[in-house]
Amino acid sequence: MKTAVRKLRAGLNTKLGFFLLTVVLFALKSYWAYQNKFNLGVKGSVQHFLLAFNTIPGALIFIGIALYFRGRLSYWLMSIINFLLSTWLFANILYYREFSDFITFNLIKGSSATSNNLGKSLAGIIRPSDFLVYVDVIILIVVLLTHLIRVDMRYFKVRYALTITALGFVLFGVNLGMAESNRSQLLTRTFDNNYIVKYLGLQAYTIYDGIKTGQNNAIKSKASANQLKPVRKFLKSNYASPNIQYYGTAKGKNVFIIHLESFQQFLIDYKYHGQEVTPTLNKLYHASDTMAFDNFFHQVAQGKTSDAEMMLENSLFGLPEGSAFVTDGGTNTFQAMPALMDQRGYTTASFHGDVPSFWNRDNAYKSMGYQYFFSKNYFPVTKNYDKGYGIKDKIFLKDSSYYLEQLPQPFYAKLITVTNHYPYLLDKQNKSIGKLHTGDKTVDPYIQTAHYLDQSIAELLDYLDKTGLRKNSILILYGDHYGISNNHMGAIDKILKTKKVNNYQLAMFQKVPFMINMEGLKGGINHTYGGEIDVLPTLEDLLGMSSKNYIQFGQDLLSKQRNQIVSFRDGDFVTPKYTKYDGDVYYTKTGKQIKHQTKAQKKQLDDIQHYVTTELGLSDKVMNGDLLRFYHLPGFKKVNKKDYNYNLNHGLKQLKHAQKKKKTSVKAENNNQSTFDEYSTDAPELKADPTLKFPKAK
């Protein structure tokens, strides 16, 4: 025993020994902080392993820098680097507590809104246990000063230092490989900063953020107002003027944007053993006061939900790679729908049962001018209330009504559902329909979660009817993108009853529902070809706000001047005549492939392709170059991100204040009686645990 202790001490008295001790303590402390100070959503053994493992490579590389220096200096450097890394961790802990996200370079630069109030509130949010991140630094300095561990003055060969650095990089490579196999496209799709920290650690996240920010800023600094000229020219020549029959018919109404997660058009009227999978949405689809579209396509790329949101709020495309919400959402200038509505006296709010950092919504929404973002932490925690990406739809929509009824009217409210999300997890008690039998296990429950989503919409509509909200609102419902991706060809074959699905059928499989419902609206099934990019101009015209001067790429779906060219994000397209998908060209009406194009056809196809490429390219220019900062939209007040704060306590206070100032909320109009109990749900979780504790403003 004694010899073991002696050996250990002798080991620690060498430079390598002290270095390894520093690394081990640093790794342990970081792991402790990841577990206790952040909500990284670690699930399963691989993720748990990676959370511990990812603390090591960074420590080896950074603290290892000290090994290149001699004598006492190298010991001091180890402590200083450790101190700096720990301070970065400390700062992130505080920031995370307030904003549920990590610090970014844009924030440090001060260009992002999130820096507001941080300094002021810092003192209020520190907890004594936060200082534990310095414990190892202090211990190591004390043992050195008291000579409990002696400084090894011997020369540490550069060769060895290089080996340590190389080891750090190799381990990082292993880390990255394992992370990618657990979560593919981790770095290209950039879902959530939480993911990067969970998989790769805080240091890797910081470097990654730095590189992305640098690349981004380089493009933006080269951009100029001149680049807007071709954009404006293109938009002017492709402007589709509104349909006077519909223009302004929804003026002054509340707007509901109901985001149907992963909901495809084929589900409409789809039957499972004679039973309708989505009876509520089917009924709505066929209702006489619903305008429904049966040739409406999603146009998202990797940014999926966030791309759909980008198109719906801005009529700008997402990017070919990654998510524009993440890369540009927090920093660009936008002239988005929430801001446009705000400036017309509307209250604007987005509701979502996931953490606010996902898809960088917590920052992107500020640029778009959302007054409120009711994310997961605004909702009461009940037993089994979430699944997959967030709160189950029935509970989410019911609990949303608690805030909805408090919003001064008119309002613009976006409700983002999430339960119908791959891999369609749902507990037994919520399943009330059988599953598909495609032989692809992850796809089979799709109709079960879609059925559940449909039921949740039924409950919401019932509430809107009961409270009278339905009468003075316009409802926009849309599926954001495919639920069954092209990685599941076998399952698609089973659903479409095809032998081997071809590219035409795959293109048509990208249809998602789009419906506009409003009392008195002249409805019907509209066959125009369109997509998500067109939603905003359609809504603007319905609300009577001309989009003529806006930098928006869509065309009003109700206009008679539409060109009906639907651009997919990868440059493929659908028009009433031709469909191009993955390089193959078909007649849209018949699905017959065109193998040999005539001269005339080639010309037509070239023209369409030219339009599609130009449209996507110009939208990318606007996004990458942040061109809207150069565009003065008459009558529009530029959004100042600093005016927005979605911190729970702040949001609750703001809501309280808003109701005092403007007494037009549903609750106020109901003699200040809550309508919450009028919202009936059969959510079994709420039956089992009916006490809902909504957070209170402090």
Question: Any residues with CB less than 8 A from the CB of 576 and at least 6 apart, and which?
Answer: 295, 529, 564, 588, 589
Closest CA to 554 of 310, 326, 365: 310
Laid out side by side, the sheet with 372-374 consists of 372-374, 347-352, 411-416, 254-260, 473-479, 514-517, 290-293, 524-526
Torsion over CA: 510, 511, 517, 521 (sign): positive
| Positions in 150-169 near ligand GP9 (CB under 6 A) | none
* Shorter beta-carbon distance to ligand GP9: residue 299 or 473: 299
Q: Which does 354 bind (CB under 5 to 8 A by kind): ligand GP9, Mn ion, none?
A: ligand GP9
CA 106/CA 306 separation, integer angstroms: 20
Site string for ligand GP9, 365-404 (x = CB under 6 A): ------------------------x---------------
The residue type at 41:
G
Q: Which of 328, 354, 386, 626 binds ligand GP9 (CB under 6 A)?
A: 354
Task: Annotate each residue in 191-230 with x if it binds ligand GP9 (CB under 6 A) or - if it does not, as one string.
Answer: ----------------------------------------
Taking every pair of Cα atoms in the chain, the longest distance, rounded to a whole number of angstroms, is 93
Residue 556: CB partners within 8 Å, gap ≥ 6?
240, 241, 242, 243, 534, 537, 538, 540, 541, 547, 562
- Which of 482, 520, 198, 579 is closest to 357 using CA atoms? 198
Q: How far is the CB of 261 from ligand GP9 (least distance, A)?
A: 6
626 lies in the site for Mn ion, by CB under 5 A: no
Q: Choosing among Mn ion, ligand GP9, none, which partner's interface includes residue 482 (Cβ < 5 to 8 Å by kind)?
A: none
In whole angstroms, what is the distance from residue 163 CA to residue 365 CA? 46
What's the min distance (Å) between Cβ of 416 and Mn ion?
8
Choosing from 305, 347, 528, 538, the catalytic residue is 305
Contacting residue, 243, 264, 305, 624, with Mn ion by CB under 5 A:
305
| Residue 635 burial by Cβ neighbours in a 10 Å radius (0-12, 13-18, 19+) | exposed
Nearer to Mn ion, 304 or 488 (CB): 304
Stretch that binds ligand GP9, among 250-258, 414-422, 514-522, 666-674 (CB under 6 A): 414-422
Query: Is 304 or 488 the residue whose CB approaches ligand GP9 more closely?
Result: 304
CA 353, CA 419: separation in Å to the nearest integer?
Answer: 10
Known active-site residue 305 = yes
Rounded to a whole number of angstroms, the minimum distance from the CB of residue 453 to ligand GP9 is 13
Based on the shown chain and the rule CB under 6 A, indicate whether residue 305 belongs to the binding site for ligand GP9.
yes
Nearer to Mn ion, 168 or 390 (CB): 390
Query: Is there binding between residue 291 and ligand GP9 (CB under 6 A)?
Result: no
Sign, Cα dihedral of 92, 97, 100, 104: negative
Residue 418 as a binder of ligand GP9 (CB under 6 A): the answer is yes
How far apart are CB 446 and Mn ion at their closest, in Å? 13
Stated as kind and residue range, the H or E segment containing 692 is none
- Smallest separation (angstroms) from ligand GP9 to the CB of 354: 4
Asked if 216 and 327 count as a contact pair (C-beta separation under 8 A), the reply is yes
Q: Of 100-108, 266-274, 413-421, 670-678, which segment contacts ligand GP9 by CB under 6 A?
A: 413-421
Q: Does 480 bind Mn ion (CB under 5 A)?
A: yes
Residue 373: how many other CB atoms lie within 10 Å: 23
CA atoms of 562 and 299, how far apart (whole Å): 17
379 binds, among ligand GP9, Mn ion, none (CB under 5 to 8 A by kind): none
Instruction: List residues near Mn ion by CB under 5 A.
Output: 304-305, 480
Binding site for ligand GP9 (CB under 6 A): 304-305, 354, 358, 389, 416, 418, 421
Q: Any idea which residues carry the catalytic annotation?
A: 305
